[in-house]
Amino acid sequence: MMKYRSEITGVGSFVPPKVVTNFDLEKLLDTTDEWIQQRSGIVERHWVEDSVSNSDLALEASLRAIASAGIEKSAIDMIIYATLSPDHEFPGTGCFLQAKLGIPEIAVLDIRQQCTGFIYALSIADKFILSGSHRNILIVGSEVHSKGMDKSPNGRNVTVLFGDGAGAVILSRKDLVDPIKDSRIMTTQLFADGSLAKELWIPAPGVGLGKDRVNHQMLEEGLQYPQMNGKTVFVHATKRMSECLTSACKEASVNLQDIDLFLFHQANLRINTKVAEMLSIPDERVFNTIQKYGNTTAATIPLGMDDAIKAGVLKKGMLVASAAFGSGFTWASAIFRY
């Protein structure tokens, strides 16, 4: 019989101060504010300055989450770090964050599930907590996309979508008293279909391309920049997010109508609007942040969670559902009582 529960006890986020509007991108990408908003819902995003790294953003978000949880850094016994834009090829960026936090020797795990990274990380942390082996796990989703985008007109379809930012939560072990009323992770569901991996990917650098991991030809062809089949992503995202939300509700023994707030991954406002329409979810129960942050990949859900708390939209005791879809293809859902 389950004796523990995993509770989100702290939430924090950070975005770099530099704001890049659609009008700013008009000067770079042969695009327009109207075109970007119609296709994505994005108005602006935040980009880092040259000297700022992924782990710098993660550090700020982590410190805020730790303060929110009311614990000391020394109480953290694991870091799970989700990102597709690491500080360096290796080691994992979680190690750099650990050093900046000054909490050596604890376990650090980096995962690469792109837009579903936060829910994957939440699911992994939940299992460690419920096993009784860990008490406070720091989960981070952090991205610096701006340094890896094609900022010429060739990259306009992708570059306009992405922003930089970080979100973090503290997942803590508590005794389970009331499975219905207790704040806890109720279920997480994780999925993938690698046969569609090349519909949204960055081909290079990579050891799967031939003799060289990276060479001049790859760079000249722009293989180091994201490539996306937008129509395919949209069709699969709406289908899979709807499916996994329905499945998660069934597993958690709740109805969609019982959910107080939906925190979807923020890839495209049109995707989230379509999912809500397919599941008859009222607009007021979906909290979107893509308008001001763009797609911050692994950071979107914790970043949105923090914004929702600050706005008074998310309050303790609420039943929350999250879903995400992204490169891999991977998709995932989570239901939790905050």
Q: Tell me what pLDDT residue 247 has.
A: 97
* β-bridge partners, 187: 335
Q: How many CA atoms lie within 13 A of 283 on its CB side?
A: 3
Which of these three, 175, 196, 214, is where a domain ends? Answer: 175
Work out the number of other CB atoms within 10 angstroms of the CB of residue 277: 12
Q: Among 96-105, 119-128, 148-157, 282-291, where is mean pLDDT lowest? A: 148-157
How would you class 113 by CB atoms within 10 Å of its CB: exposed for 0-12, middle for 13-18, buried for 19 or more? buried
Do residues 134 and 199 both lie within one domain? no
Do residues 33 and 150 both lie within one domain? yes
Six-digit token string for 84: 């597709």
Do residues 97 and 202 both lie within one domain? no
Do residues 313 and 194 both lie within one domain? yes
Give the DSSP letter string of 3-19. -EEEEEEEEEEE--S-E
Model's pTM, two decimal places? Answer: 0.97
Do residues 224 and 317 both lie within one domain? yes
Do residues 129 and 217 both lie within one domain? no
Work out the number of other CB atoms within 10 angstroms of the CB of residue 309: 17
Give the range of the structural domain holding residue 102, as residue numbers without chain letter: 4-175
Is 111's pLDDT higher than 90? Answer: yes
pLDDT tier for residue 1 given thresholds of 50, 70 and 90: low
Catalytic center residues: 115, 265, 295
Question: What pLDDT, in 10s, does the model give residues 8-57?
Answer: 999 999 999 999 999 999 999 989 999 999 999 999 999 999 999 999 99
Q: How many CA atoms lie within 13 A of 207 on its CB side?
A: 1
* β-bridge partners, 140: 81, 168
Question: How distant is the alpha carbon of residue 50 from its chain centre?
Answer: 23
Q: Average of pLDDT values for 231-242?
A: 97
**How many separate domains does the chain show?**
2
Residue 120 · residue 302 · CB < 8 Å: no
Which of these three, 142, 175, 208, is where a domain ends? Answer: 175
Which of these three, 175, 197, 213, is where a domain ends? Answer: 175
In the three-class reduction of DSSP (H, G, I as helix; E, B as strand; rest coil), residue 46 is classed as: strand
Segments in the chain forming alpha helices (H): 22-29, 33-40, 54-69, 93-101, 117-131, 156-159, 216-220, 230-252, 269-278, 290-293, 300-310
* CA angle centred on 121, ends 119 and 127, rounded to 5°: 105
Work out the number of other CB atoms within 10 angstroms of the CB of residue 237: 27
Do residues 141 and 246 both lie within one domain? no
Question: What pLDDT, in 10s, does the model give residues 194-221?
Answer: 999 999 999 999 999 999 999 999 999 9
Do residues 143 and 226 both lie within one domain? no
CATH value at residue 248: 3.40.47.10
Question: Over the chain, what is the mean pLDDT?
Answer: 97
Question: What pLDDT, in 10s, does the model give residues 139-190?
Answer: 999 999 999 999 999 998 999 999 999 999 999 999 999 999 999 999 999 9
Do residues 100 and 142 both lie within one domain? yes
For residue 335, give the nearest of 321, 325, 323 by alpha carbon.
Answer: 321
Q: Average of pLDDT values for 85-91?
A: 97
Do residues 191 and 49 both lie within one domain? no
Do residues 168 and 204 both lie within one domain? no
Do residues 320 and 249 both lie within one domain? yes
For residue 81, give the nearest of 43, 112, 45, 47 by alpha carbon.
Answer: 112
Q: How far apart are CA 55 and CA 81, in angstroms?
A: 10
